Structures are given as structure tokens and as C-alpha cells.
Amino acid sequence: MKRRETEEAEETTGAAVLAPIVATAAAAFVFWWLTKYSTICERDIIGTAITVWCAVVIRIMLWAEKEEAE
């Protein structure tokens, strides 16, 4: 017996596509800026860049949810 798929495909919003791209650019900029101007150690710089990446992704996704709700 053939199994039917009942789930509908979710639409991908522009923000869902844009979030990782913007976050990667922001994290790369932070990494570059900190390596150029900071005296903190490399591990802290990488941690900060990862934190920035996560924060940007979360912020854009929350913004997208707000826009969809309106």
C-alpha cells in the first residue's frame, strides 16, 4: 500500500533565506574587527563571532515572525 504524504510543504520566507547570510557577514566582520583591534585571545574572538552569528539569526527570525503575524 502506498503511503500518502499529508504534510504540506512550508513556504520559505525571504527572511529565512536571508538570516544565515546576514549573520555570517556580521560574524565575519566581528571576527575581522576583533582580530585587528583586540587584545583578547583567539578563543574569545571565535566565541564572540559565534555569539554574534546566533544573535543575528535569532533577531532576523523574530523579525520575520512579527512581519508574518501582521
Give the pTM: 0.59
* pLDDT digits 0-9 by tens, 8-45: 555 666 777 888 888 888 888 888 888 887 777 777 88
Mean pLDDT confidence for 1-10: 54
Please state at what angle helix 42-69 crosses helix 14-37, rounded to 10 degrees. 150
d(CA 55, CA 52): 5
* CA-wise closest residue to 63 among 19, 7, 5: 19
